[in-house]
Structure 1
Amino acid sequence: MSGANEAQNRPEVTNRIIELLDKQNEKGKAKYGSTIDQASDQHYDWKLMAMEEMVDLIQYQQKEIMRLERLLTPR
């Protein structure tokens, strides 16, 4: 199956995630000069970095919940 054909057969959610991954990979390559595959395991604590990202995610999600509650709650 060709790449374009494959993308057409994927769910829209999957396509958006792949687009986001591509953007993040380009952003990382521009910032660090290499891909994550090329990054040295000796220079990064991957578990800690993942946990820090999850903490940020929780904060972003809570902020979005609060924004939606304000929109949906009549005053």
Structure 2
Amino acid sequence: MKHSQNEIERPEVTRRIIELLDKQNEKGLKKYGTTIDQVSDMAYDWKLMALEEAADLIQYLQKEVIRLERLLNPI
């Protein structure tokens, strides 16, 4: 991949994170018609939203651990 002089070559993990953020921003714009930057600071309880997302994340990660355990140790 060629880069201009001012462009840094990002690791694949970083590139994938940026792509995911871009997709999430597009999804949010389509769903809500606005970006997170344009939403009022007082529109949501941001810490509660983050905690709810973290709770979902922990469940998703545990589900993936179980899936991988089943793949590695089939009964």
Aligned residue for 1:70, secondary structure, equals helix
1:38 counterpart = 2:43: no
Corresponding position of 1:72: 72
**For 1:3-39, what per-residue CA distance to the aligned partner results, in whole angstroms no more than 9, with x for missing partners?**
x7236x1000000000000000000011111100001
Which runs of 5 or more structure 2 residues have no equivalent in the other structure?
none
Percent identity, aligned pairs only, is 73
Aligned length: 71
Where is the helix percentage greater, Structure 1 or Structure 2?
A: 1
Q: Alpha-carbon deviation of 1:74?
A: 3.8
Q: Alpha-carbon deviation of 1:43?
A: 1.4
Q: Counterparts in 2 of 1:6-25, with a 5 A limit?
A: 6=7, 9-25=9-25
Bigger RCO of structures 1 and 2 (CA < 8 A, at least 6 apart):
1
**For 1:17-69, what per-residue CA distance to the aligned partner results, in whole angstroms no more than 9, with x for missing partners?**
00000000000011111100001122100000000000000000000000000
Corresponding position of 1:57: 57
State the TM-score, normalized to the length of structure 1.
0.88
Which runs of 5 or more structure 1 residues have no equivalent in the other structure?
none
Distance 1:14 1:42 in 2: 31
Distance 1:52 1:45 in 2: 11
